[in-house]
Structure formats: C-alpha cells, structure tokens
Chain A
Amino acid sequence: MLTIDWSAFTPASSAAGGVLIGAAAAALALGGGKIAGVSGIVGGALADALAGRAQTTWRLQFVLGIVLAAVLWSLWSRIPGTFTHASWPVWLIGGWLVGAGSRLGSGCASGHGVCGLARLSPRSFAAVGTFTATAIATAVAVHLLLY
C-alpha cells in the first residue's frame, strides 16, 4: 500500500525550484535557440574534446553556471543531500549507466523531462516513460532486496 511521506514532502520549495528550472530552459530556448538538456550539453562538450574540435563555449558557460550557483549556495547554506546510502561500486556503475544511457537515449531528466515534454515531443514522452519505469523498478528492487 502506497503511503505518502508527508514529513519529507516540500511542495512550496519544490514548486519554486521547478519554476526556476523551467525559466532557465525557457530563456535558453527563446533567447539562444538551444535545449537546456544537461546530458546533451555535457556530452556535446565531451564529444568536442575527444574529437579535438574547438569547444562550443556556451556549453561550458552553462555548466559553469550550474556549478557557480552551487558554490554561491554553499556560502550561506548547506547543499541538500547526503550521499551515504550506497557503496562506491554503486556510484561507479550508476554513474556509467546514467552517462551512457543518456547519450544513447539522447537526453536525461532535463532534456527529455523538462524541455521534451514542454515541446510535446513524442520521443521525449517515450523516453520519460521508459526511464521512469526502469528507475522505479530498480529502486523498488533495491529496497526489497536490501531492507
């Protein structure tokens, strides 16, 4: 039976954060004609580096912006998150799957999840449905096997 964890549910800050993420995607799309998909941006920069091509600088600026936001945030508050629930092989394998999967699938939670759904792209609906399903199946399996 599904029980809602009301103590961990934070609708106000989640809504505000979601609006900021959406506004960032909106500004990059309308202003610059680009999709604010983190895996596409990081993967594109990496592909340029591997091929020895000159970097497309806006990609690096976007990544710098995210990291800079977190540095500024950490000056007066703690960055949300504890990272102790998994052992190092899990972070290693999980990171590889997220990296390879997002490149093969042409997007992650920002590119397909935010931008693709807002564009009403059928591919993004298929991608979001698929990765949400396998993520839920994995998280539930880990829960049932380990706890």
Chain B
Amino acid sequence: MDLLALFCGLLFGLGVLLSGMSDPARVLGFLDLAGPWNPSLLVVLACAVLTAFVPLQLAQRRRLALLGEAVTFPQTRPINRRLLFGSALFGIGWGLTGLCPGPALAALPSLHAPVWLFVASLLAGMASVELWQRRTAQTRLADVHTP
C-alpha cells in the first residue's frame, strides 16, 4: 500500500507539472473570464476524469481493492450547507491565488516564498477546521450529558 501510494503520488505530481497546473497564471487564465481565456484547465480536468472514470466505477463496486485493502470511498450523504459553504470558501481562495492543494505541493520545490506561505496558511486553515470540529463535538457531548 505504501509503495502504491508513493507511485501514485509520483504519477500525480508528474501529471500536475506536465499539465502546467502548478502555474497560477494558467489557472487564473481559465478562471478570469474578463481577460484572454485559457481553456487548458478544462482539457486537464476532462482527460483526468475520462481516464479515471472506468477504474473508479469498477473500484466503487468492489468491497476489497486489488491489494486486499478495504475500499474506503466517501459514503453517500446529502448535499448540505457545510459542503456548499466550504466549497464556496475554497473557490474564493482558489480564485484569489490560482493555487489549490495538489499543485501547491508540486510547486514547493521551486522554493518560491509565496508557495511556502500559501501551504503554511493552508495547513493553518485545515487545522482551524479540525479544532473547531473538535470543540463543537465536545459541546454536543456536554449537551447530551446535561440533564
């Protein structure tokens, strides 16, 4: 499993770099409809989804993966406010910078300071959600135990 994950990470990183998506200017060229439009990101996404389609559909129907690990895909849950609010925040950050988590990791070895600042801040944002979640879980638990 570890070796497979390392291999998949290598393949994923190579794909991000080859597609040019580690370059925020190319991502913003797609998002900024007010300027000259660069459809490259759409080609990346379409090719990635088409390549992954059959394998993910097959994997989704299996209980165990080929290496014997349990298939742990997200369970079907309703579309709720948390999903939409979180995605909206994500989009604002993406539109401000032109970076999202995968390309940001792939751009770290370029040693550009803004990328490192972005990733540090990204980790802080993730940690904030984690701590907030833990606090609300404790509050709920306390509510349950209060007669």
The answer on A and B forming one complex is yes
Which A residues contact B (CB, under 8 angstroms)?
2-5, 8-11, 13-36, 38-39, 42-43, 46-47, 50, 57-59, 61-71, 73-74, 78-86, 88, 90-106, 108-110, 112-115, 117-123, 126-128, 130-140, 142-144, 147
**Knowing A47-B130, A95-B122, A117-B49 touch, does A10 contact B87 (C-beta < 8 A)?**
no
Closest 9 CB pairs of A and B: A65-B9, A17-B19, A99-B125, A22-B51, A104-B86, A105-B86, A69-B13, A18-B47, A138-B95
Instruction: Digitize B109-136: 1 where CB-to-A-CB distance is under 8 Å, 0 elsewhere.
Output: 1101111011111111111111100000
A92 to chain B, nearest CB (A): 5
Instruction: List 10 A-B pairs, Cβ < 8 Å.
Output: A2-B33, A5-B38, A23-B51, A31-B66, A83-B110, A90-B96, A99-B123, A103-B86, A115-B56, A139-B33
Interface residues of B in 21-64 (CB under 8 A from A): 21-26, 28-29, 31-41, 43-53, 55-60, 62, 64
CB distance from A3 to the nearest CB of B (A): 5
Q: Are A69 and B40 in contact, with the CB atoms below 8 A?
A: no
Q: CB-CB < 8 A to B26: which residues of A? A: 8, 80
Q: Does A65 contact B7, Cβ atoms closer than 8 Å?
A: yes
List the count of A-B residue pairs having beta carbons below 8 Å apart.
508
Q: Are A27 and B4 in contact (CB under 8 A)?
A: yes
A45 to chain B, nearest CB (A): 10
Bound: A22/B33 CA distance, A:
26
Instruction: Compute how far the CA of A33 lies from the CA of B106 in the bound complex, rounded to whole angstroms.
Output: 23
Q: Which A residue's beta carbon lies closest to that of B77?
A: A123
Q: How far is the CA of A47 from the CA of B35 in the complex (A)?
A: 39
Q: Is the CB of A95 within 8 A of B52?
A: no
Instruction: Please tell me the number of chain B residues within 8 Å of chain A, measured between CB atoms.
Output: 118
Interface residue SS majority, chain A: helix
CB-based contact B5/A105 at 8 Å = no
B29, B118, B123: most-surrounded residue (chain A CB, <10 A): B118
* B95 and A135 contact, CB distance less than 8 A: yes
B125 adjacent to A66 (CB under 8 Å): no
Q: Nearest-CB distance from B18 to chain A (Å)?
A: 4
A62 CB contact (under 8 Å) in B5, B34, B60: B5
Is A15 touching B12 in the complex (CB atoms < 8 A)? no
CB distance from B57 to the nearest CB of A (A): 7
**Cβ B91 vs Cβ A66 within 8 A:** no
Residue B141 is within 8 A (CB to CB) of chain A in the complex: no
Q: How far is the CA of A42 from the CA of B127 in the complex (A)?
A: 11
Complexed CA–CA distance, A112 and B33 (Å): 22
Q: Are B13 and A65 in contact (CB under 8 A)?
A: yes
